[in-house]
Amino acid sequence: MKVLIVEPGKHPREADIPSGLESLQKVVGGYIQAIYPFDDPVALVCDEEGLFKETEWNRFICEGCAIKGTFFICGLGAEDFTDLPENLLQKYTKRFYEPELFVRTAQGIQVIRIR
């Protein structure tokens, strides 16, 4: 399955991964959780318990939603995950291209894009 893997502190990368549950869990480092924060037919798959683990913050997704640890983006089929189409691969590569640093300040958490 063609996906976009996004790791903390790194640029995203395209990868072909097996679609079995164990393979998906290996990519994210734990039990998988799919969220659907975008209008496109894609799933953002992350570690279900990532927020409770001592892993690095990765990316700010949308208002009130940031992901810790590695996640991947894949396409959505009628009942399962599918290959991420090329146009969406390019779109989300651009969206997540710059790694982000999360810094605690007096005003709260600030997100700084690393260029």
Q: Output the six-digit token pair for 5.
A: 């893997």
Give me the pLDDT at residue 110, please. 80
pLDDT digits (tens, 9 = 90+) for 19-48: 999 999 999 999 999 999 999 999 999 999
Q: Residue 68 in contact with residue 57, Cβ under 8 Å?
A: yes
pTM, two decimal places: 0.91
* Residues 6 or more apart in contact with residue 20 via CB below 8 angstroms: none
Give me the pLDDT at residue 86, please. 98
* Three-state SS at 50: helix
State which residues form the domain around 89. 2-113
pLDDT digits (tens, 9 = 90+) for 76-110: 998 999 999 999 999 999 999 999 888 888 887 88
Residue 17 burial (CB count, 10 A) = 16
Number of separate domains in the chain: 1
